[in-house]
Amino acid sequence: MTKEQGNTGKRIGVYICRCGSNISDYVDVDTVCSEVAKEKNVRLARVMMFACADSAQKEIVADITNEPLDAIVVASCSPKLHLHTFRAVAERGGLNPFNYVQVNIREQSSWAHSDNPPQATEKAFNLIKAGIARVDLAEPLMPVTIPAENSVLILGAGVAGMRSAIELADLGSQVFLVEREFFVGGRVAQWGKMATTDQTGEEIVTALYNQIRTRKNIQVYTGAHIISSKGSIGNFNLQIKVVPRYVKPPCDPQGFRKAIEACPVIVDDEFNFGLTKRKAIFHNYKSEFPALPVIDMANCTRCGECLKHCTGINLDQKEEIIDIHAGTIFLATGFNPYEPRPGEFGFGELSNVITLQQLKRLLELSKGEFRFREKKIESIAFIYCVGSRQVDGDNKYCSRYCCTSAIHAALQLKQEFNVPVIYHLNKGIRTYGKQEVLYAQSSAAGDVYLQFVEDEPLLVEIYGEQAKITINDLLTAGQEITVTADLVVLVTGMVPRDNIDLNRILKVPIGKDKFYNEIHPKLRPVETVIDGLVISGCCQGPRNIHESVSSSLAAVAKVYTFINKGEIQLEPTLAIVNPDACEWCGLCLAACPFDAIQMVETGKGKIAQIIEGNCKGCGMCTPVCPTEAIDLKGFTNMEIRSMIEAMSG
């Protein structure tokens, strides 16, 4: 027993999990169990094979009622996995869930110290003692419920964002769909015919947008981005800034067309990845949404030429700041196609080296014959894994979509444009699942597949009007082979979008691969460590459309469970003020980042009071209090002090 532990007389049950053998291979659980049984207030200690298994849970519930027990400790895996599992067990036994403490003896003992079983055992014992000390002092806590706004802010109107907007709207939520670009659709709008269904991007975006338009509870903002965020799950207060289009209906399409013609400014068209030019007033393709051109103010010279043709143009439109109140935030901000470094496989240096994204645009812009820079293309070499699976660079991951998409484009080149010779210089083709069929089709159509060794990069050189590529081909016993081609296509992977501001404002967790990171790929695949912030589509990592949409629908299901009841239960671990000790100095108010503290007058004088709906339970106010009058429920001063003592030996 530690000094701090009072004589609570609590009846505590301790369960020690073998986790199959994950724990018991390194921690001598039987010895720990018999030692633990001797601790004060411990009525029962048991070893279990899998404490989380249904039968084990039932056993604990039975113990709670039969013994009876007032509190339980489970020493098993990380509480991140099973805190809620066992809190629910405690509840089913009739205990307050906070009379349960989970001790992590797997991740932080048996696994971390598998090199030293005796010490892992000793540590496990100390950790369990600390758990017992904590549960002994633990007070029952009641959950706090707060109202949750049944509305969602979706950032990004690509396929993932648009598809989820429709579903959320139909499930009864108010949806704010915020797109940074001036047109919706995201990347898919750029791709033309796609794997594996041959649907075009335009078809898909049009179908989705038409659905969005018929739903009154979806509000779409284009040219908009988030500038601030306050609050938390259930009640986010967000601000978005809407950049003007400088164009507004009414104006007839003729007028718009003339206005575009009249504009004297010519810049690279990023929609076509610089393959074509556009004006400062522009739109991307005929059926684009919203069907209204836009003026790109970064390049507009305000010369006024367009004004002569169209009454809808107003160069003085001002940006707007809009306040949005949303229960959850849904990130669907997508990816960027990898942009090769200058000189990478000749990119930027040789005129006939392009990227897959450029090829996809070229295919869209071509009719009948396939030409590049006027020249009819008779042979093409695809170089795979550019910007992915890098041996030296940072992008260690496979971009997943590209093998299939490149092969699909190659088939289109062969079937629609009769390009006779196509080489695929790859690192091992990854047309997983049913996509394999495309690979088989392409091989049958006579495409040549050569595989290069990872650490021996290819050499791309100019060879007359063609490009010459030298490769050590794995498939022909490492022979050095050269191929020449009219056009080289770099099969580029996916990289995260630049979203520095958004990442900062929302504090989005970012993984090793620099994409957004989920809590757990199997247990909580669309949630982030920030409650109420879900992720979906390609902002989470490379995916094709089917997979992006699946993840966005999965995120819809999650959001629906958050907000459909109109209220959310908060963890009851909130700050609490001891009015007798408080002398109101205001330091806690200054320390609280959530405006959760207010001053109130009582008969005794001024004291601090917690506004529970605002309190997030961070505890930042506790160390600053000079009189130790403020405490954090679930992590009280007494509890932590007694844990320190218990752990110390």
Which residues contact ligand SF4 by CB under 6 A? 384-385, 388-389, 398-400, 402-403, 427, 430, 491, 493
Q: How many residues at the interface with other proteins, by CB under 8 A?
A: 130
Structural Rg of the chain based on CA atoms:
31
Q: How far apart are CA 474 and CA 471, in angstroms?
A: 9
Write phi, then psi, for 588 (nearest 5 degrees): -65, -40
Give the residue with the Cβ less far from other proteins, 140 or 623: 623
By residue count, the chain amounts to 649
Max alpha carbon distance in the chain (Å)? Answer: 94
Q: How far apart are CA 347 and CA 569, in angstroms?
A: 54
> Would strands 353-355 and 487-492 be described as parallel, antiparallel, or unpaired?
parallel
When CB distances are held under 5 to 8 angstroms depending on the partner's kind, the choice from ligand FAD, other proteins, ligand SF4, none that residue 573 binds is other proteins
- Pull the structure tokens for residue 612: 């529970």
When CB distances are held under 5 to 8 angstroms depending on the partner's kind, the choice from other proteins, ligand FAD, ligand SF4, none that residue 384 binds is ligand SF4
Q: How far apart are CA 474 and CA 452, in angstroms?
A: 6
Give the residue with the Cβ less far from other proteins, 262 or 530: 530
Pick from 94, 126, 95, 111: which is nearest to 25 by CA?
Answer: 111
- Pull the structure tokens for residue 306: 């367009």
For position 360 contacting ligand FAD by CB under 6 A, the verdict is yes
Give 222-288 as a 3 state SS string.
CCEEEEEEEEECCEEEEEEEECCCCECCCCCHHHHHHHHHHCCCEEECHHHCCCCEEECEECCCCCC
CB atoms within 10 A of CB 62: 11
When CB distances are held under 5 to 8 angstroms depending on the partner's kind, the choice from ligand FAD, ligand SF4, other proteins, none that residue 158 binds is ligand FAD
We find the least distance from the C-beta atom of residue 556 to ligand FAD, in angstroms, to be 14
- Residue for token digits 């992720």? 535
We find the least distance from the C-beta atom of residue 628 to other proteins, in angstroms, to be 8
- Residue for token digits 């084990």? 56
For position 435 contacting other proteins by CB under 8 A, the verdict is yes
294 strand-pairing partners: 282
Applying the rule CB under 6 A, the residues between 170 and 189 that interact with ligand FAD are: 178-181, 186-188
Residue from 225, 361, 389, 468 that binds other proteins (CB under 8 A)? 389
For position 442 contacting ligand FAD by CB under 6 A, the verdict is no
For position 22 contacting other proteins by CB under 8 A, the verdict is yes
- Pull the structure tokens for residue 527: 């949630």
Name 43's Cβ contacts closer than 8 Å, sequence gap at least 6. Answer: 11, 12, 13, 67, 69
Q: How far apart are CA 396 and CA 412, in angstroms?
A: 30
We find the least distance from the C-beta atom of residue 493 to ligand FAD, in angstroms, to be 8
> Would strands 235-242 and 224-232 be described as parallel, antiparallel, or unpaired?
antiparallel
- Pull the structure tokens for residue 151: 């509305």
We find the least distance from the C-beta atom of residue 438 to ligand SF4, in angstroms, to be 12
Residue from 213, 302, 507, 606 that binds other proteins (CB under 8 A)? 507
When CB distances are held under 5 to 8 angstroms depending on the partner's kind, the choice from ligand FAD, ligand SF4, other proteins, none that residue 127 binds is other proteins
Give the residue with the Cβ less far from ligand SF4, 57 or 388: 388
Pick from 40, 49, 17: which is nearest to 124 by CA?
Answer: 17
When CB distances are held under 5 to 8 angstroms depending on the partner's kind, the choice from other proteins, ligand FAD, ligand SF4, none that residue 586 binds is none
- Pull the structure tokens for residue 629: 């009058």
From 4-12, 35-43, 107-115, 353-361, span contacting ligand FAD (CB under 6 A): 353-361
We find the least distance from the C-beta atom of residue 180 to ligand FAD, in angstroms, to be 4
Applying the rule CB under 6 A, the residues between 384 and 423 that interact with ligand FAD are: 401, 405, 408
Write phi, then psi, for 43 (nearest 5 degrees): -90, -25
Give the residue with the Cβ less far from ligand FAD, 188 or 574: 188
Give me the 41-80 binding string for other proteins, x by CB under 8 A, dash otherwise.
--------xx-xxxx-x-------------------xxxx
Calculate ∠ Cα 206-208-213, nearest 5°: 90
We find the least distance from the C-beta atom of residue 239 to ligand FAD, in angstroms, to be 13
We find the least distance from the C-beta atom of residue 25 to other proteins, in angstroms, to be 9
We find the least distance from the C-beta atom of residue 615 to ligand FAD, in angstroms, to be 30
DSSP secondary structure code for residue 108 in this structure: I
When CB distances are held under 5 to 8 angstroms depending on the partner's kind, the choice from other proteins, ligand SF4, ligand FAD, none that residue 334 binds is ligand FAD
Pick from 31, 40, 32: which is nearest to 12 by CA?
Answer: 40
For position 414 contacting other proteins by CB under 8 A, the verdict is no
We find the least distance from the C-beta atom of residue 369 to other proteins, in angstroms, to be 29
From 244-252, 294-302, 320-328, 389-397, span contacting other proteins (CB under 8 A): 389-397
Helix runs in 152-193, H state only = 159-170
Applying the rule CB under 8 A, the residues between 189 and 248 that interact with other proteins are: 194, 196-197, 199, 204, 207-208, 211
For position 161 contacting ligand FAD by CB under 6 A, the verdict is yes
When CB distances are held under 5 to 8 angstroms depending on the partner's kind, the choice from other proteins, ligand SF4, ligand FAD, none that residue 225 binds is ligand FAD
> How far apart, in Å, are the Cα atoms of 473 and each of 381, 457, 459, 462, 476?
14, 11, 13, 20, 6
For position 329 contacting ligand FAD by CB under 6 A, the verdict is no
State the residues that interact with ligand FAD by CB under 6 A: 155-161, 178-181, 186-188, 191, 194-195, 225, 332-335, 337, 356-357, 360, 401, 405, 408, 497, 499, 502, 537-538, 543-546, 548
